[in-house]
Amino acid sequence: MDDLQCLQPTHQPRVTEHMEQIKEMIAKIMANGCAYTINGDVYFSVDSFPEYGRLSGRKLEDNRAGERVEVDSRKKNPADFALWKSAKPGEPSWESPWGPGRPGWHIECSAMSAHYLTHSFDIHGGGMDLTFPHHENEIAQSCAACRESNISYWMHNGFVNIDDEKMSKSLGNFFTIREVTRLYHPLALRYFLLGNHYRSPVNYSISQIEIASESVFYIYQTLLDSEEALSAFQQGTETAKNAKGRVTPQAQECINKLRNELKIKLSDDLHTPTILNAALQEALKLMNSCLTILKKKQQKQQHLSASLSLTELLKEVKAVLDVLGLLAGSTCAEVLQQFKERALKRAELTEEDVLHAIEERALARKNKDFARSDQIRTDLAAKGISLMDITGTTDTAWRPCVRSIQEQPAPPVQPKKSAAAVQEQPSAPAQPKKSAAAVQEQPVAPSQQKQPSAAPQQEQPTAAPAQQDHPTVPPQ
């Protein structure tokens, strides 16, 4: 939970520690005429609650038509559900006014939430599959115990699919969060989840988590470069207090848009994907433009305006990231190093391996062996390591990237065969269709590559060594 930037719950109650509260709520429901007993069992009467089915939109007659199991004939209504079950041999049980037994499936949630949050609170969450009958029954029994019971918002999250298939142990595609965060930074997983609306199914794939990882790396590289540039420009920012410089209209418009979009989209059923998609990316792009201005020889007024704009943009972007839980407690440099360490682990390389490859590539370029230079760059890109040549220097930096798929050589031409043989075996092996994930990983031009809504444009390896002024500026 801490790794994913999730706040720890104030209370983590256990049902066995709240038996008295459960029995008290059942007693209130019975006293209000909404439940009845049968041989030590206590059932809730759905007929006593006219609004039953409003949350799920299901009618009682529809539920009866879909029954697949034998209904207990002792019930007054087949939809009545158990509040208390009489004890059975070998099962845990507790004493109660109705005899020894245990709570039903639904009552413990109502009793514990009322104990800690009162009968009325703002948000109740759960999976889509709990809407009916669990949450429907919770509403009914809570209102039967207390007429003022109310929940303002029900939030039901979608399921997790793996490569468009439902995640399950039986399909062999089941994994834990710890397994994911061993190879990918927790912030990348959080960013990936925020890129999907919480009510929608989440389709997890390696390509998608790698794209999310690259996006967060880009964000933190921009933050780090901005902090370093502003620190170097400290004298200018001190002068700004008495100078006439101000934030550019473009930067102020971008800040207002980011601030307003955050408020609007969070108010729109927590629509986080659109926050990551538009205004945040626009702000990051403008920050990199300010960095470019600060690096070039410009008039003092332009530098001052760029530094002031960058300062305010940095402040606003950090505020948005903080709200979304994407602002780490570590420094930007530490976060970037954590991303690089996991990239090396995925590539099964060490830092020394990458530095050796950079040296070998530099030697190949010096000897004008550009084929070898390109091959080294391509091989590393296939493992998720991107090389960046810094303009004006002989230095080469590296960063994690989405793993590319190397182009395969054309199949050899097969000798001609008879018509019958041709029908059985084509002259050239047919290439298998690539999955959506494979298409995303192909090293094609950025304009052709499909990216998720929140991902910045990805730097792609080129045939000739690319020169880059600023590592954080996404390729256009």
Tens digits of residue pLDDT in 21-64: 999 999 999 999 999 999 999 999 999 999 999 999 998 766 55
Question: CA–CA separation, 358 vs 380, rounded Å?
Answer: 10
Q: Which residue is listed with tokens 């030697």? A: 363
Q: Are 177 and 189 in contact (CB under 8 A)?
A: yes
Question: CA–CA separation, 181 vs 214, rounded Å?
Answer: 15
Indicate if the pLDDT at residue 442 is higher than 90. no
Q: Is 300 exposed, middle or buried (0-12, 13-18, 19+ CB in 10 A)?
A: exposed
Secondary structure of 407-434 in HEC code, one letter for each residue: CCCCCCCCCCCCHHHHHHCCCCCCCCCC
Tokens of 73: 């004939």
**Measured in whole angstroms, how far is the alpha carbon of residue 15 from the centre of its chain?**
31
pLDDT value at residue 359: 97
pLDDT value at residue 411: 43
List 41's β-bridge partners, or say none: 38
Q: Which superfamily does 2-157 belong to? A: HUPs (3.40.50.620)
Lowest-confidence pick of 227-231, 440-444, 470-474 = 440-444
Tens digits of residue pLDDT in 159-169: 999 988 888 78
| pLDDT, greater one: 1 or 340 | 340
- Domain assignments of the chain as residue spans, ordered by start: 2-157, 180-236+245-330, 348-400
- Averaged pLDDT, 447-465: 37
Please state which CATH number belongs to domain 180-236+245-330.
Answer: 1.10.730
Q: Are strands 385-390 and 396-400 parallel, antiparallel or unpaired?
A: antiparallel
